[in-house]
């Protein structure tokens, strides 16, 4: 009997040891899985993830200027942070429409481990000017770091082709999300929340997971609208957007006559204009531009000071169609190189727009529509 009790005791001790070892083993495995996991977008469960399928975010290279930061400060700030890279340029209307969300995310999550970096990759030459970009970031309330990628070296490092574009890298530097253009704001913010939660768990930081989203009314595009119209002969290649019979004459002054009729989605300058790579510059003391468009919003990208008069369907612009930058009546004064909103209406429609210019030297780069 005593030998049976002794055997039972030995077996019990052996079982207890085995259970303990197994528990430690599984605990270690759980820890390893947790360090390489992400919250699943569909069911909010924690699943293992193989990060080998993700790319590491490239270095910021070829930067001309660092705004709201220094190279050393930015390098230090990026360590261990969830980083949202926003590729933008300040005269791009699609980029501008995303900025309220990005600045709101910065306010909401910067203390939770999110770092936003604006990668300013210019479309036009004037967007390489530091002072112009500084004015733009002040105008839009941008306080997060902005790097001026004037030679597109960082753009190329990301293999990017679009404005705007958002890449989100996790705290280990892996790009876990990529979105082109406007929209998908809740989806993007959800990714920010998930990656911040993942970071907090790994670092052992106690946080209350965010469950709400930034509440900003999203701009609703017209489904069928006039495409962006480019005035520079280099940017307009292959687009057939200049309706005037005189056509483009590279780097030469061309006198454009009043058109007999105008076609939809094309522009018609009137007066003497120099054809430049990125723009047209008015050489006569006055001139005009006509376009038949479909949209509810019209913006122009211009340079050099001038007073413009806006006419819609042959009459001075009515207040109900006035864009945000119209100063009084149907007039607007353009000063620094920038994008100006001249038409803003609630409904999509077809209109004939005419812009009359009173100043020699005025430059226009593009029309954009919404």
301 and 235 fall within a common domain: yes
Q: What DSSP character marks residue 285? A: S
113-127 burial by CB neighbour count: b if 16+ within 10 A, else e?
Answer: bbbbbbbbbbbbbbb
User: How confident is the model over 279-334, as pLDDT tens digits?
Assistant: 999 999 999 999 999 999 999 999 999 999 999 999 999 999 999 999 989 999 99
Q: What is the pLDDT of residue 171?
A: 96
Distance CA 363, CA 366 (A): 10
pTM: 0.85
CB-neighbour burial class of residue 30 (10 A; exposed 0-12, middle 13-18, buried 19+)? exposed
pLDDT at 348: 94
Closest C-alpha among 328, 361, 324 to residue 339: 324
Q: Residue 47: what pLDDT?
A: 55
Which residue carries 């207890």 as its tokens? 16
pLDDT of residue 205: 86
Q: Are residues 288 and 360 in the same domain?
A: yes
- 199 and 64: one domain? yes
Q: Which helix (H) or strand (E) is 255 found in, with range?
A: strand 253-256
The answer to whether position 220 is within a domain reads no
Count of alpha carbons within 13 angstroms of residue 35, beta-carbon side = 7
User: Which of 138, 144, 143, 158 has the alpha carbon at shortest distance from 116?
Assistant: 144
Q: How many domains does the chain have?
A: 3
Give pLDDT, residue 12.
Answer: 43
For 61, the token pair is: 């290279």
pLDDT in tens, 158-185: 999 999 999 999 999 999 999 999 999 9
Per DSSP, the three-state class of 225 is: coil
CA distance 193 to 222: 31
Residues in the chain where the model's pLDDT stays below 70: 1-48
Considering the domain architecture, whether residues 277 and 242 belong to the same structural domain is answered as yes
Q: Please list the alpha-helical segments (H only) found in the chain.
A: 2-35, 71-78, 93-109, 130-139, 153-157, 185-203
**115 and 175 both lie in a single domain:** yes
In whole angstroms, what is the distance from residue 78 CA to residue 91 CA? 27
296 is in which domain, residue-wise?
229-369
User: Do 301 and 363 lie in a common domain?
Assistant: yes
Helix runs in 164-308, H state only:
185-203
In a domain, 178, yes or no: yes
Task: Check residue 43 and give its pLDDT.
Answer: 37
Q: Could you tell me how far CA 288 lies from the centroid of its own chain?
A: 32
């Amino acid at each position: 009997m005593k030998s049976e009790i002794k055997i039972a005791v030995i077996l019990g001790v052996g079982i207890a040891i085995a259970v303990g070892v197994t528990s430690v083993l599984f605990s270690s495995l759980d820890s390893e899985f947790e360090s390489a996991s992400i919250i699943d977008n569909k069911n909010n469960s924690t699943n293992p993830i193989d990060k080998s399928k993700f790319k590491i975010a490239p270095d910021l290279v070829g930067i001309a200027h660092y705004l709201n930061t220094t190279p050393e400060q930015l390098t230090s700030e990026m360590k261990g942070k969830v980083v949202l890279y926003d590729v933008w340029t300040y005269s791009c209307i699609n980029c501008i429409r995303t900025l309220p969300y990005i600045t709101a995310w910065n306010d909401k999550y910067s203390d939770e481990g999110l770092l936003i970096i604006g990668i300013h990759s210019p479309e036009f030459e004037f967007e390489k000017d530091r002072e112009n970009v500084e004015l733009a970031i002040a105008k839009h309330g941008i306080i997060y770091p902005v790097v001026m990628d004037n030679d597109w070296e960082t753009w190329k490092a990301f293999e990017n082709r679009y404005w705007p574009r958002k890449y989100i890298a996790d705290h280990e530097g892996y790009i876990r999300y990529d979105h082109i253009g406007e929209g998908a704001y809740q989806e993007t913010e959800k990714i920010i929340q998930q990656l911040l939660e993942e970071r907090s768990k790994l670092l052992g930081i106690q946080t209350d997971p965010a469950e709400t989203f930034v509440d900003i009314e999203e701009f609703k595009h017209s489904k069928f609208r006039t495409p962006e119209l480019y005035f520079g002969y280099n940017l307009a290649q292959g687009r057939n957007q200049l309706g005037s019979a005189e056509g483009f004459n590279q780097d030469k002054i061309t006198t454009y006559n009043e058109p007999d009729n105008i076609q939809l989605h094309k522009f018609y300058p009137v007066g003497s204009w120099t054809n430049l790579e990125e723009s047209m510059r008015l050489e006569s003391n006055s001139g005009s531009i006509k376009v038949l468009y479909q949209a509810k919003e019209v913006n122009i990208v211009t340079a050099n000071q001038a007073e413009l008069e806006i006419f819609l369907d042959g009459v001075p612009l009515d207040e109900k169609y006035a864009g945000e930058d119209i100063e009084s009546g149907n007039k607007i004064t353009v000063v620094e190189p920038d994008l100006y909103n001249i038409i803003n209406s609630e409904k999509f429609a077809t209109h004939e727009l005419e812009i009359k210019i009173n100043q020699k030297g005025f430059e226009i780069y593009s029309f954009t529509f919404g």
